[in-house]
Structure 1
């Protein structure tokens, strides 16, 4: 059976339109399935207790408590245990960006462990944890670092605020990004 040129053109136009609609429907279904699957997996993880917002917050706060305890003992390695040991770790403070766990540790050593320097006593307060998923969270808070050796009261205490982005790794929650800013001395 042969078609006339106008009938063939109409048939081809119909098929092209049908294919465009079918492709669009497939894309929409794919997006819905992926999005719905993500929501479902998250809901199941939360519902089964594999991960709960309250449990995650408790674990995240424990990371900071362990860091403060280690810092106050002069244990920089213990303090650094709260950070993601990876070259993609970022630490921002005083307008400088430090990339990588090793360089971040070296920055702390130079600033707080070098000759004549002291680590001081570290305390965290006003902590606010926001979990984004079972594997990602943000923590905002305030720090206070008190130095015993300082004679000048203006230099005796450093205070400021920080924002941490944390990721749940096989080793537990780790800081993957730290943005810390000190209050200006008055």
Structure 2
């Protein structure tokens, strides 16, 4: 006879804080106009996935290139803020993060929601899957 035991995922004491720190570093890098530093929050893997609009992009370089094209200057980048961050641990090495993003630009303020899958890698917590949606323009 086998027994199945289910337990809550173990969260190291600082997991949520470490993940929040990655997001804060991304926000700060974005607001300096530094897309390369912003991309440090993503896993440098061919399997990294970014979903937005009706497209799926695979690979760290592909995701970086998308950001470089779409946000080619400071005016397009605007000022980024993240809010309503909820971290749910799936295991000691994986988490799902739900949040809200907002860009403040001279002529508009696009915003929306995101769901991120973070994985603990040797270099720390990194995004391996990003699904970002934009709210309809107001």
One fold, TM greater than 0.5?
yes
1:147 Cα shift?
A: 1.4
Which is higher, the Rg of structure 1 or of structure 2? 1
1:117 Cα shift?
A: 5.6
| Matches for 1:5-44 after TM superposition, within 5 Å | 28=2
User: Any gaps of 5 or more consecutive residues in structure 1?
Assistant: 1-24, 151-155
Is the contact between residue 64 and residue 82 of structure 1 (CA under 8 Å) also seen in structure 2?
yes
Is the contact between residue 111 and residue 117 of structure 1 (CA under 8 Å) also seen in structure 2?
no
Partner residue, 2:85: 127
Q: Per the alignment, in what secondary structure is the counterpart of residue 140 of structure 1?
A: strand
Partner residue, 2:63: 104
Which of 15, 26, 37 in structure 2 is aligned with 1:67? Answer: 26
Is the contact between residue 80 and residue 101 of structure 2 (CA under 8 Å) also seen in structure 1?
yes
| Matches for 1:168-179 after TM superposition, within 5 Å | 168-179=120-131
What CA distance in whole angstroms lies between the structure 2 residues aligned with 1:134 and 1:181?
27
Deviation digits for residues 65-88 of structure 1 (CA, Å, limit 9, x no counterpart) = 000000000000100000000010
Which of 18, 43, 65 in structure 2 is aligned with 1:84? Answer: 43
Deviation digits for residues 79-115 of structure 1 (CA, Å, limit 9, x no counterpart) = 000000001000000111000000000100110016x
Q: CA RMSD in A?
A: 2.1
Deviation digits for residues 29-66 of structure 1 (CA, Å, limit 9, x no counterpart) = xxx5xx66x96xx98xx5xxxx52x4100000000000
Q: Per the alignment, in what secondary structure is the counterpart of residue 84 of structure 1?
A: coil
Structure with higher helix content: 1
Aligned length: 138
User: What is the TM-score of this pair, normalised by structure 2?
Assistant: 0.91
Name the structure, 1 or 2, with higher relative contact order (CA <8 Å, separation 6+): 2
Partner residue, 1:153: none
User: Any gaps of 5 or more consecutive residues in structure 2?
Assistant: none
Q: Per the alignment, in what secondary structure is the counterpart of residue 79 of structure 1?
A: helix
Structure with higher strand content: 2
User: What is the TM-score of this pair, normalised by structure 1?
Assistant: 0.68
